[in-house]
Amino acid sequence: MLRLFGLMDRAIGAVLRPVLAAGMAALIAVITLQIVSRVAFTAVGWTEEVARFLLVWLTFLGAVLAWQQHRHIAVGVLVDRLPDRTGRLVTGTALVAGIAFLLALAWIARDYMAMQSFQKSAALRVPMTYVYAVIPLSAVLMAVLALSDLVRLALTGRRPAPTEPVE
C-alpha cells in the first residue's frame, strides 16, 4: 500500500512538472505577444484573457506540486519540539483536517462549476467551466497527496519533510 501511494505521489509530480513548465512558457509567450502587439501595432484582444486563465491554472497546479514536494509554508517550530509520538499525532490530525478541507473545497467548486456552466469568457467565448475546473482538480490531487502522507505517517511513523524525497 505504501508503494502504491508512493507511486501515485511521484506520478503526480512527474506529470505536473512538464505541464507547469509548458504553461509558464505559454504564459511568457502570450504576455510577450501582448506587449509587442501593443507597441508595434494594434493590440491583440485575446492575450489578456489567455494570460489570466493560464495564471489561474498555473497557480492551482503549482500549489499541487508544492504540496507534493512538501514546500507549502508551515510553521513547524512547535511540532518539531513535541515528543515524537505527540508530533506524529498532531501531524496526522493536521493531515486529516487538510483532507476534509480539500474534499469540501472540491465539492463546493464542482457545484460552482455547474452554476457557472452557462457563462462564457468575453474574448474567446470559452465556457468558464474549463477555467474553474482547475479548482476541484487541484483539491482532489492535493487530498490524494495528503492521504499519501497520512498513510506514510501511519505505516512508517515518519513525518513529511520539505527535503524528503517521496518513496
| Annotated domain spans of the chain | 2-156
Mean pLDDT, range 103-122, rounded to an integer:
94
CA distance 35 to 32: 5
Evaluate whether 9 touches 68 at the Cβ level (below 8 Å): yes
Residue 159: the pLDDT is: 79
| Whether residue 19 has pLDDT greater than 60 | yes
| Whether residue 144 has pLDDT greater than 70 | yes
Residues 6+ away with beta carbon under 8 Å from 70: 149, 160, 161, 162, 164
Model confidence, pTM: 0.90
* Least confident span in 13-17, 18-22, 161-165: 161-165
Residue 166's pLDDT band, with cuts at 50, 70 and 90, is low
pLDDT, tens digit (0-9, with 9 covering 90-100), for 51-85: 999 999 999 999 999 999 988 888 788 888 999 99
